[in-house]
Amino acid sequence: MSPRIIVIAPHPDDETLGVGGTLLRRKAEGATIAWIIITSISEESGWNSETVKQRADEIERISLLYDFDEVYALNFQTTQLDTIPMSDIVAAVSGVFNSFKPDEVFVPHPSDVHTDHQVVFNAVSACTKWFRYPSIKRVLAYETLSETDFGLVSDQAFHPNVFIDVTEFFDKKIKAMDIYASEVGDFPFPRSHEAIRALATLRGAASGFKAAEAFELLRERI
Separation of alpha carbons 47 and 106, rounded Å: 29
Specify the DSSP element, H or E, that contains 143. Answer: none
Contact 7, 33 (CB under 8 A): yes
Per-residue pLDDT at 118:
96
Q: What confidence category does residue 52 fall into, taking pLDDT thresholds of 50, 70 and 90?
A: very high
Over the stretch 79-137, which tens digit does the pLDDT of each residue have?
Answer: 899 999 999 999 999 999 999 999 999 999 999 999 999 999 999 999 999 999 999 99
Confidence grade of residue 166 (pLDDT, cut at 50, 70, 90)? very high
Backbone angles phi, psi at 29, to 5 degrees: -85, -5
Report the relative pairing of strands 212-220 and 162-165 from DSSP bridges: antiparallel
pLDDT at 182: 87
Task: Please give the Cα distance from 122 to 10 (Å, whole number).
Answer: 12
Cβ atoms 166, 213 nearer than 8 A: yes
Domain locations along the chain: 4-165+214-220
Looking at residue 213, its pLDDT comes to 98
Helix axes 170-179, 14-28, angle to 10 degrees: 140
CATH number of 4-165+214-220: 3.40.50.10320
Q: What pTM does this model have?
A: 0.96
